[in-house]
């Protein structure tokens, strides 16, 4: 039995890129840190919120790379000269990746009370009707 993929289905032309995107998303290896929410704020907008307590704005980096929103955090270890009797809050780093659909744009990012909010908007595509003329061969 042959494995049927999006790119090989006869009625799904040009979806090879979507199949690669799904494979890449499955392999992204996002761990459970930091926790996040994704909410729909209107018909055409979304908000991703990450719990980044302990991170300053300069510890975070937000980029869009090949239709992926990548949020990275890297805390500096500021324990020089300090003696901890218990250290349960470790300086850690993370990378969270979110695949963006075609037409989704990243808006502003706001840090508030240990939460990083990243706003996204989706452009509504125009409906295009194209008539193809038939010529005699």
Sketch the domain layout of the chain as residue ranges: 1-30, 31-122
Task: Look at residue 84 in the predicted model and tell me its pLDDT.
Answer: 84
**The whole model's pTM is what?**
0.72
Place of tokens 């901890």: 84
Decide which of 1.10.760.10, 1.10.287.3240, 2.60.120.260, 2.60.40.790 is the CATH code for 31-122. 2.60.40.790
Exposed, middle or buried, 97 (CB in 10 Å: 0-12/13-18/19+)? middle
Task: Give pLDDT tens digits for 44-88.
Answer: 999 999 999 989 999 999 999 988 999 999 987 777 788 888 888
Residue 3 has pLDDT above 80, yes or no: no
Task: Give pLDDT tens digits for 9-53.
Answer: 666 666 666 666 666 656 655 568 899 999 999 999 999 999 999
Task: Look at residue 89 in the predicted model and tell me its pLDDT.
Answer: 76
């Amino acid at each position: 039995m042959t494995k049927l993929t999006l790119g090989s289905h006869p009625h799904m032309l040009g979806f090879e890129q979507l199949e690669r995107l799904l494979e890449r998303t499955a392999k992204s290896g996002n761990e459970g840190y930091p926790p996040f929410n994704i909410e729909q704020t209107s018909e055409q907008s979304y908000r991703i919120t990450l719990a980044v307590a302990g991170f300053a704005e300069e510890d975070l980096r937000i980029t869009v790379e090949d239709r992926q929103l990548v949020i990275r955090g890297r805390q500096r270890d500021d324990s020089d000269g300090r003696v901890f009797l218990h250290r349960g809050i470790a300086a850690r780093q993370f990378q969270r990746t979110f695949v963006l659909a075609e037409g989704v744009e990243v808006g502003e990012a706001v840090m508030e009370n240990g939460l990083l909010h990243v706003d996204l908007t989706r452009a509504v595509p125009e409906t295009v009707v194209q008539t193809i003329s038939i010529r005699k061969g």
